[in-house]
Amino acid sequence: MLTPTPIHVLVTHAEPMAHRGIVATLHEDARFLVCEQTPDNSHSPYALGRNTPVRVIVADLAAGIEAAQTLRQDRIHRLAPLAAVLVVSPVDSEMNVRRALEHGVSGYLPQSCQPDQLIDATLALARGQRYLERSVAQRLADAMTQDLPTPREIDVLRLLSIGLCNKAISSELDIAVGTVKAHIKALLQKLDAATRTEAADVARRRGLLDPTDTDMAQSRSRRHGMRSGQFQEASSERELSAA
């Protein structure tokens, strides 16, 4: 009886404990042959994938997107093996999942997943299938019926979320106050929110706001010497209406 050829899996994760856990879980299953790529190695994960028969790359979000983009480009030039990318990340917000899928990632698991889910996902990708953990898939499915804010609306939302009033947002983005009001009205509709505060809360839950970008926006506004009157309390809804 012929022994099945093992599935070559490359693991490269930025978080050491997650990396070790993924490697240990896959090592225990005889169907996988696991190789590792750590941040201090000299080769990139996708470069290693070109030189070994890697079928699945298991990575963190940033490395996964990078690998998927490079593999997609290599496929155009017919240089890459048939490798698929599985992202394992503590961040499973709608926007991050969408971004990963748009860049060519084939599977997405929350970092809190069970070992059997990791094995099932890796096997699915090795068969050429996609895999989304159930809660991730449900969240994404629910969001697909909703319109995404435009990039400019996201700019307004980011400033709105740190408490800037319409006039301050107008000054920060160099647009008319009336334009700011129109963007806020559109945001309330798209996020199904009744107030500015609720809109910001919904956006955070859906991952539409990057905490780092929000912190930078707040720091920049303070450096510009915004008067205290240009900020509003979180509970204030004076500018609820865009009219």
b vs e for 138-167, b when ≥16 Cβ sit within 10 Å of the residue's Cβ? Answer: ebbeebeeeeebeeebbbbbbbbbbbbbbe
pTM, rounded to two decimals: 0.65
How far is Cα 67 from Cα 61, in angstroms, rounded to an integer?
10
Q: Is the CB of residue 30 less than 8 Å from the CB of residue 6?
A: yes
107-110 vs 131-132, strand pairing mode: parallel
Q: Is the CB of residue 94 less than 8 Å from the CB of residue 207?
A: yes
Is the CA virtual torsion 169, 175, 181, 186 positive or negative?
negative
Q: Is the CB of residue 144 less than 8 Å from the CB of residue 137?
A: no
Measured torsion, CA atoms of residues 238, 203, 180, 190, in degrees rounded to the nearest 10:
-100
Report the SS3 class of residue 232. coil
pLDDT in tens, 199-234: 998 888 777 776 555 444 555 555 555 444 444 433
Neighbours of 116 (CB within 10 A): 10
Domains defined along the chain, listed by start: 7-143 (3.40.50.2300), 151-230 (1.10.10.10)
Distances (CA, A) of 128 to 9, 10, 56, 85, 223: 14, 16, 10, 11, 51
pLDDT in tens, 33-42: 999 886 555 4
pLDDT in tens, 152-167: 999 999 999 998 999 9
How far is Cα 181 from Cα 176, in angstroms, rounded to an integer?
9
What is the predicted pLDDT for the residue at 144? 66
For the chain, the 3-state helix, strand and coil shares in percent, each to the nearest 5, are 50, 10, 35
What is the predicted pLDDT for the residue at 27? 94
Query: Which residues of the chain carry a pLDDT beneath 50?
Result: 42-49, 76-77, 79-80, 214-216, 226-243
